[in-house]
Structure 1
Amino acid sequence: MFRKILAPLDGSRLAEKALPYVEEIARKFDAEVVLGWVIQLRPPAIPEYEAAAYGLTPLLDTSSERERARAYLQGIQQRLQQHQIRSSIKIVESHAIADAIVAIADDSGVDLIAKTTYARLGPSRWLHGNIAAQVLKRSSCPLFLVRVSEDEADRLAGEDATYSAPVRSE
């Protein structure tokens, strides 16, 4: 039923919460996993002083961010290979995360997008909106959401991922 699954990640433990489900679905359907990463560029209309207030950086040179993303995704790719799960890596740069996720899905020919969702509050919600809702609205393939409670999202927010989530055994 599913041949390719997109797992959009950002290097956070929060985003990794979807990976055990992705692994289980990939094993069940012998599907390939596309590990996606969007390097978010600051929208040009936002002045630098306002961007800093929302945690956005200009990222004129994205090479270091691209290297960090590649190293992180390669670590996950190795783990998937240990469990006989085929995978590929796709890193893109964009001002709009949801649009980039949909573009990766379309370009890679995936038939399922699996990601974590949580309640985003305050200025971050205003600035980014609900990414899961935007992806659902724009994507032509199904979206599998792993809901994380607000408490867990707060606890995991900002923690770098190590991909320590257990792999479910058959």
Structure 2
Amino acid sequence: MFKHIFVPYDGSNYSKHAFQVALEIATKFGSKITLVTCLFRPPEDESFYISEHIKNMDSLKNNAIIDLARLQEIAKVNKISADVHVMSCNSAVEALTTFANSNKVDLIVMGTRGNTGFKPLLLGSVSIGVSQHATCPILLVK
């Protein structure tokens, strides 16, 4: 039923809980998990911020890679295949729904809101936006 589970991950407690729920579902159904962290990229017309933002982006990307690798290892220990991706985007809703819709995702498991973690990655409105635009079922986790 749920062969491919997609978990948008921003390091918040909500997304950590969503990963745990996805892991339980994947164990039950023999699913694979894909974890994606979406890093905000400022519009090019805000170029005076770009230089400082690029330095910060490198740090955020490194932190995201480390965190996702840790989750990938947890999945592996539980005999679950997990792919991880870090992408930069202008709109988390657009990037996440495009990814889900083009990668044959059967279920999206995500936190009801994002906070702290790798801010400003997933905002409270992202889960609402994804739920309105994705073509597969979505499980929102508190």
* TM-score, length basis structure 1: 0.68
TM-aligned CA deviation for residue 13 of structure 1:
2.3
Q: Secondary structure at the residue paired with 1:115?
A: strand
Aligned to 2:11: 11
TM-aligned CA deviation for residue 48 of structure 1:
6.6
Q: Secondary structure at the residue paired with 1:85?
A: coil
For the pair shown, the structure with the greater C-alpha radius of gyration is 1
Aligned to 2:27: 27
TM-aligned CA deviation for residue 119 of structure 1:
9.4
* TM-score, length basis structure 2: 0.81
What's the CA shift string for 1:79-114, capped at 9, x where partnerless?
110010111012111011111111221333211110
Q: Does 1:74 align with 2:69?
A: yes
Aligned to 1:167: none
Aligned to 2:131: 136
TM-aligned CA deviation for residue 45 of structure 1:
5.6
Question: Which has the larger displacement, 11-20 or 27-36?
Answer: 11-20
The answer to whether the 8 A contact 1:42-1:59 is kept is no
Which of residues 68, 79, 91 is equivalent to 1:96?
A: 91
CA distance in 2, matches of 1:13, 1:59: 26
TM-aligned CA deviation for residue 132 of structure 1:
1.2
Q: Secondary structure at the residue paired with 1:93?
A: strand
Identity of aligned residues (%): 26
Q: Which has the higher helix share?
A: 2
Measured on the aligned residues, the alpha-carbon RMSD in Å equals: 2.5
Which stretches in structure 2 are left out of the alignment for 5+ residues? 116-122
CA distance in 1, matches of 2:54, 2:133: 26
Which of residues 59, 62, 80 is equivalent to 1:64?
A: 59
The answer to whether the 8 A contact 1:36-1:104 is kept is no
TM-aligned CA deviation for residue 59 of structure 1:
3.5
